Structure 1
Amino acid sequence: MTLLAHDDTSSRVAAIIVTYNSAPTLPGLLASLDAATAPVRAIIVDNGSADETLTVAAREPRALTIATGANLGYSGGINVGRRYVRDGEHIAILNPDLTVEPGALERLLQAIDADPAVGIAVPQLRGLDHDGRFDSLRREPSVTRALGDSIFGNRWRERPSWLAETLRADRDYGRSHDVAWAGGAALLISAGCDRRVGEWDSATYFLYSEETDYARRARDAGYSVRYVPEAIARHEGSGSGQPAPLVALISVNRIRYFERLHGPTRTALFRGAVAVQHLLRPHDPRHRHSLPIVLNRARWRTLPAGDPEPATLSVHSASASIHGES
């Protein structure tokens, strides 16, 4: 077994797992880490779950569990977990609703070890109960790519790259290559990249687009994002089950990200291109809900946002329960 005790100094990887009502899926992820071929420590950051997540986490005594007592968002949870990563450890960011196949983490480690320019290594994502592939690789957002994705979605999968932010062609997933960014369900970040890039932007991105922002900052620091198809993680994903407020938040955070890098004219065009996605799908109540929010900036403040971080975090390990000042 290679899931190590939280105080084991032999680990090369610290796996940060941000949980929120994740009791049904967390055991599967922890079991898959036990079957990993790379030595890894698990750091579970719970964002105020109302279910039995903390009870489930306590059943794995080797994991270090931090109960924030609040919903800090994905970036906020990652930032809390980073405080417990040791110098020299690479960081795996893992959604609690996925599993990693044996050898996956080792192959991601090999990509980082083989090329110091690789700051982020990402696996191929497949379904938990089927072998279908998730289209998880992305290009940098642009006005025409946003418009192409809004109009065509998953249709015309072989369309030109300037009309698609998401990579959908089979050839893009059968070979190792660098991408602009990838979905944040499973990432391995090198220790050097983590040290150079620093904290995730939890002030701007409660949920969604945080991985887009982090990957851009990594690229600006001279690192690449490397896709490793031989490393496979299986992801449950949310698909069409996302509630309307989160669908709206996805679009708004895409605009927030783009706005940070571009002037008002191009941002207005990008915002319009994103709105087209919702305009063309009036049969879906989630899109009917999202369209007026995207178009009315004053309504952005109504979207889900992170809670303030408590002054004290509850940290639980195999040997003790301690309350540490954050």
Structure 2
Amino acid sequence: MRIQERQLNVAIVTYNSEQYIEALLESLPAAAGQLVLRTVLVDNGSIDATVEVAKRFPVDVIETGVNLGYSGGINVARQRLGPGNLAILNPDLTLERASLEILVAALEGSVGIVAPRVIDEEGTLFTHLRREPTVLNAIGESLFGARFPRRPAALADTIREPASYSVPQTVDWAGAPAWVVSSACDQAVGAWDSETYFLYSEETDYARRARDAGFTVLYEPAATVVHHGGGSGFSDWQLALMSRNRIRYFDRFSRRAASKLAFRVAVVAGHGLRAVSPAHRAAARSIVLGRPVGSRSLPPWAIKNESGASR
């Protein structure tokens, strides 16, 4: 393994992550294998002990003092780290042995992004592999959600068949609790779009820009990470923001006004079909009315993004 291939930049963005960050940082050395890590942790204004815990470890801690969002935090880390293969890790992970080494080894040819197998603490698989958003798969997701996992691919934006997660494969994008991005891809695609996506859909956007630049997104099940916070659900404002950013992303890349309207209707209908949940009712109202779910439930640092304004 050449010297440059042994080096891996690691970016971690935290916000009140005291509960998880110690376990992640403790897991890094075994996950690295023969890799030499340079780790930057960007803290987005935590008010708990995240920073104090992180400073016990050999990581470069940057305190922003404000919440820049996930994309904004990644961009700060990129600037500090400079060129090189880049691992982007959620703070609520632990990494299995050699997982980072395996992901870096998969960066061959046109592969620009590699995503690992993701499980929870009980070993349950996360279905995080995704297809590019379309009107048809938005309708399928709204009508069926996670039911009928073997339905036609055109009616599902998520790959849910367990067998698909046992083999490496090229995908449109993957949920990003852990990614490794090649140095060439990182340099070609550039900064993450923090102006448009404070939180949610940033990985969809980044993966599309990577594909447009000639890179592929690879799923590599030989590497496994444990996602501890992935089952915690969504608050009203989070669910609304996720849906509004789905629509914002689709609007950006769709050329037909009719398709944009159909996609928006499909997303709203999905929330309407689940209106027994207050969060889904709030998300539907937010989309229809074109405004945040409400100042009492929306944190001040997210208001500008939720309302569609730049931060």
TM-score, scaled relative to structure 2: 0.91
Normalized per residue, the structure richer in helix is: 2
Confirm or deny that 1:12 pairs with 2:12. no
Aligned residues: 296
CA distance in 1, matches of 2:170, 2:5: 30
1:136 to 120, 128, 136: 128
State the AA in 1 paired with 2:36.
Answer: P
Given residue 96 of structure 1, which amino acid in structure 2 is its aligned partner? P
Q: Do the aligned partners of residues 192 and 307 (structure 1) sit closer, same or farther apart at CA in structure 2, a change above 3 Å counting?
A: farther
- What secondary structure, in the 3-state scheme, does the structure 1 residue paired with 2:80 have? coil
Moved more, 238-247 or 101-110: 238-247
1:306 shift after superposition: 5.2
Aligned match for 1:72, one of 64, 68, 83:
68
Q: Which amino acid aligns with 2:24?
A: L
2:90 is aligned to 95
* 1:297-312 matches, cutoff 5 A: 297-299=290-292
Q: Identify the range of structure 1 (198-207 vs 145-154) with the bigger mean alpha-carbon deviation.
A: 145-154
Residues 72 and 307, structure 1, Cα contact 8 Å, conserved in 2? no
Write out per-residue CA displacement over residues 86-141 of structure 1, whole angstroms, 9 at most, x where no aligned residue.
33x211010000011111111111110xx2200000000000x2110000100000
Secondary structure (helix, strand or coil) at the match of 2:241 reads helix
In angstroms, what is the RMSD of aligned CA positions? 1.9
Q: Return the match for 2:155 from 160, 163, 167.
A: 163
Alpha-carbon offset, residue 299 of structure 1: 4.3
Task: Give the aligned residue type for 1:280.
Answer: L
Aligned equivalent of 1:3: none
The share of aligned pairs that are identical, in percent, is: 46
State how far apart, in whole Å, the 2-side matches of 1:178 and 1:290 are: 32
What is the CA deviation profile of residues 173-217 of structure 1, one whole-angstrom value per residue up to 9, with x for unaligned ones?
111010000001100000000000000000000000000000000
Equivalent residue for 1:288, pick from 281, 285, 300 = 281
1:85: which partner in 2?
81
Letter in 2 for 1:285: P
In structure 2, the partner of 1:63 is 59
Correspondence 1:50 to 2:43: no
> Which sections of structure 2, spanning at least 5 residues, go unmatched?
305-311
AA matched with 1:154: A
2:294 and 2:87 mapped to 1: Cα distance? 31
In 1, are the aligned partners of 2:137 and 2:156 still within 8 Å (CA)? yes
Q: What residue number does 1:182 align with?
A: 174
Letter matched to residue 40 of structure 2: I
Unmatched 5+ stretches in structure 1: 1-8, 309-326
Larger RCO of the pair (alpha carbons < 8 Å, separation 6+)? 1
TM (norm. structure 1) is 0.87
